[in-house]
Amino acid sequence: MKRACDVCGTEYEARRPASRYCSPKCRKRASRRVKAGEPVAQVVELPAANAGVGELEQATLEELDKVGRSGTALAKATLLLARGIDNAPAESGSSAAARFREWQAMLAKATAGTGVEKSALDRAKDQLAERRARRSQRGA
């Protein structure tokens, strides 16, 4: 894995993910700087945030507009979450899946009761919940 040295900025092939220095010489320089109270790492400019509207955010906005709820607080929160998913850096699968589930739940709440057609999965979940409710009423 290629990495830039924290002291001199030289790009080097790191043997471990936690590697920070290109050579023992730079490691000693960093150690001396820490003892002297100086900063070790170089300041790195981060790329500018994506100012454009992403695909998920655009689709969410269109869906909320279609049902006339784009101005609600819940709709704004749903759009912020969609923007975060669109602009997220590379994440692990479980992290991305959790964000997506959160967005799905918020969108469902934001469009609840508007007659928006549910997906086949949502209809199946609703049917299962109804059956479970009937069973629990029979057993009570």
Mean residue pLDDT of the chain comes to 83
**Calpha distance 135→123 (Å, rounded):** 19
- Position 27 scores a pLDDT of 92
**Calpha distance 108→117 (Å, rounded):** 11
**Calpha distance 99→26 (Å, rounded):** 40
Q: Note the pLDDT tens digit of each residue in 10-29.
A: 899 998 888 899 999 999 99
pTM of the model: 0.47
Decide if 8 contacts 30 (C-beta within 8 A). Answer: no
- Position 24 scores a pLDDT of 94
Q: Note the pLDDT tens digit of each residue in 88-110.
A: 776 677 888 888 888 888 888 88
Report DSSP letters for 93-116, one per residue: HHHHHHHHHHHHHHHHHHTTTTTP
Could you state, in order of their start, the residue ranges of all structural domains in the chain? Answer: 2-36, 55-139
**Calpha distance 83→98 (Å, rounded):** 15
Q: Note the pLDDT tens digit of each residue in 48-71.
A: 655 578 888 898 898 888 888 888
User: How crowded is the C-beta side of 26, counted as CA atoms within 13 Å?
Assistant: 17
